[in-house]
Structure 1
Amino acid sequence: MTTAPTPVPAPAAADPGGGPGAVAAGPATPPPAPRARRLRGGSWLAALPLLAFFAIGFGLPAIAIATGAFTLSSDAETGAGSFTTANVTDSVQGAYWTALLSSVRLSALTALIGTVVGLPLAQAVVTSRFRAVREAVLTASGVLANFGGLPLAFAFVATLGNAGEITKLFHLTEHGWTLYGFTGLSIAYLYFLVPLMVLTITPALDGLRRQWREAAANNRATALQYWRHVALPILLPSLLGGYVLLFGSAFAAYATAAAMVGATVPLISRSIADALSGNVLVGQGNLALALSLDMIVVAVLVMAVYLPLQRRSARWLS
């Protein structure tokens, strides 16, 4: 007579209520180790040199500028002074206000042209079949974006000045051309702003996915419709961010304008140099600090627009 095998009891199911008869479904997740917390704290320690450099290189000068802008020097020997708002008030009046508006106008116009011209150039680079062309254009853009100051002014004077080679070759002076004005200075600024825009917008163009273009083509959308309804709305934050970056670069430029047009085109950077050197009035150092404070305010407003646009663009193109 065969004995039936004793059935093996099935394992008890886990009690969702967590009673005494419950069987754990698996090992509990251990809490984060203290070492991980120490590592996260160490990352802040690693950033301390950068924060210290930022505080020394940018924080202290900004504090000195803000303090000096609201100080009226009364003793040339001791440097003692009293609080005043006259410097800031004078910096937004008369010729100084005209220089500030001229700088904003020049920067806004050249940044707009640089954005409009740089976008199709960057798109041509991104869609190029030849990798060598892409690398060569991006390398040249990196060089030209940092080519400014006295060398750029000399290059334009030698080519498009009153006695420049291109001016004499095409008789531009007879047609009313002059380099030493607002138009000539704008063209000189575009020499480094357009390459800067190419470098800025190229990563965003690389982020456009091929599936988006294919989906638009499957829905019988033309290339113009694709750019109008798909590509440009996605690229808009990057385009606006690039425009803001170009605006800041043109707004802060000094050496090119000082060497090429001098006082012909009033600029805020040139006014600061004149106040510091005493070309107009002696002892206007605090007024120069007030003019510098005006530039800092404009730069802060520019960055306040630029950073949110960059974050919004990164969410789409990541």
Structure 2
Amino acid sequence: MASRPRLRGAALFGTAPFFAYVAIFLIIPTLVVVIGAFAGDEGGFTLSNVRALGDAYIVEAFGRSIALSAMSALIGAVLGAVLAYALVTARKDGLLRRVVTAAAGVLAQFGGVTLAFAFLATIGLSGFLTLWLSDHGIDLYGNGVWLFELPGLTLVYTYFQIPLMVIVFLPALDGIRPQWREAAESLGGTTWQYWTRVAGPLLAPAFLGSALLLFANAFSAYATAAALVSQGSPIVPLQIRGALTSEVVLGQANLGKAMALGMVIVVAVVMALYALLQKRTATWLG
């Protein structure tokens, strides 16, 4: 009996690095944001920073961030689900599936300055594809420099949203059992009826949950947009950067923390919905 407390203590000691990591990189920064959002420039409690979130330019920034995240999540979810379905038809231990899954894992993390540079070198104003199309009479920027605006950010974000969707949605597709389709066909059901009445309803929570995860991923992205957008702050992360680093308007650091608190609340709501949908998915496909 004496060995059980020792094993339990060893297990707790083994998880200490994890809890230390969570405390340093999640809990403490969150507390700094929450406390700073309600702190005045000279100390003390104030609601002025939170009230400022109702200013027109901040509301517009949140609106653009939500629109950007929703659009990139929708496109990434649909295209990623199609790719995942094509992948699930391959052998689980086959070379094709292993290669595509590994590539998706790498590309899902391929962001920041590197991704922005890749798009600039490809379809930027002097990108090789832009110049090649221009030589053939096609102007990518006939209607304006869209790459540095929300349409361009949507395209760039979709690049890492699709492989992320493949990773998170593939297990749900693996949970669909072939016997269910065979049972539907044996009862005279068509392919359309199988997908709309059996597989579709079962996969819907997993699809919506994955889309919410993609939304949170895009909503919290910063480095790619910061490297791509050199002028203006169309989305909230760039607004926060401006508030923290502005040399023109001083004393906005706590306003930046208030905007960060708003982002934390949005992401928390999205991830709570994601957890609920994942629980329902596990109930049906577990």
Structure 2 segments unaligned to the other structure (5+ residues)? none
Q: What residue in structure 1 maps to residue 99 of structure 2?
A: 136
Q: Contact 2:233–2:239 (CA<8 Å) still a contact in 1?
A: no
Aligned pairs (5 A) from 1:74-85: 74=42, 81-85=43-47
In the alignment, is residue 294 of structure 1 matched against residue 256 of structure 2? Answer: no
Structure 1 segments unaligned to the other structure (5+ residues)? 1-32, 75-80
1:270-291 deviation per Cα after TM superposition (whole angstroms, max 9, x unaligned): 0111111114511211111111
Distance 1:154 1:135, change over 3 A: same
SS in 1 for 2:147: coil
From 154, 172, 179, the equivalent of 2:139 is: 172
Give the TM-score normalised by structure 2: 0.91
1:71-98 deviation per Cα after TM superposition (whole angstroms, max 9, x unaligned): 1122xxxxxx111000111123121121
1:235-293 deviation per Cα after TM superposition (whole angstroms, max 9, x unaligned): 11111111111011101111111121234561100011111111451121111111111
Q: Contact 1:181–1:264 (CA<8 Å) still a contact in 2?
A: no
Higher helix share: 2
Distance 1:150 1:56, change over 3 A: closer
Q: What residue in structure 2 maps to residue 121 of structure 1?
A: 83
Larger deviation, residues 163-172 vs 182-191: 163-172
In the alignment, is residue 284 of structure 1 matched against residue 252 of structure 2? Answer: yes
Q: 1:190 & 1:43 partners in 2: Cα distance?
A: 40
SS in 2 for 1:68: helix
In the alignment, is residue 162 of structure 1 matched against residue 125 of structure 2? Answer: yes
Q: Contact 1:180–1:264 (CA<8 Å) still a contact in 2?
A: no
Q: Contact 1:263–1:270 (CA<8 Å) still a contact in 2?
A: no
* Cα shift at 1:212: 0.5
Aligned length: 280
Q: 2:143 & 2:124 partners in 1: Cα distance?
A: 12
* Cα shift at 1:56: 2.9
* Cα shift at 1:174: 6.0
From 140, 145, 166, the equivalent of 2:108 is: 145
Give the TM-score normalised by structure 1: 0.82
Q: What residue in structure 1 maps to residue 52 of structure 2?
A: 90
From 171, 184, 193, the equivalent of 1:216 is: 184
Cα RMSD between the aligned structures? 2.1
Aligned pairs (5 A) from 1:1-318: 43-44=11-12, 46-74=14-42, 81-129=43-91, 131-170=94-133, 171-173=138-140, 175-176=142-143, 178-264=146-232, 266-318=234-286
Q: 1:280 & 1:299 partners in 2: Cα distance?
A: 30
- Higher Cα Rg: structure 1 or 2? 1
> Aligned AA for 1:84?
T
SS in 2 for 1:72: coil
Distance 1:83 1:141, change over 3 A: same
Distance 1:189 1:38, change over 3 A: same
SS in 2 for 1:84: coil
Q: 2:81 & 2:65 partners in 1: Cα distance?
A: 24
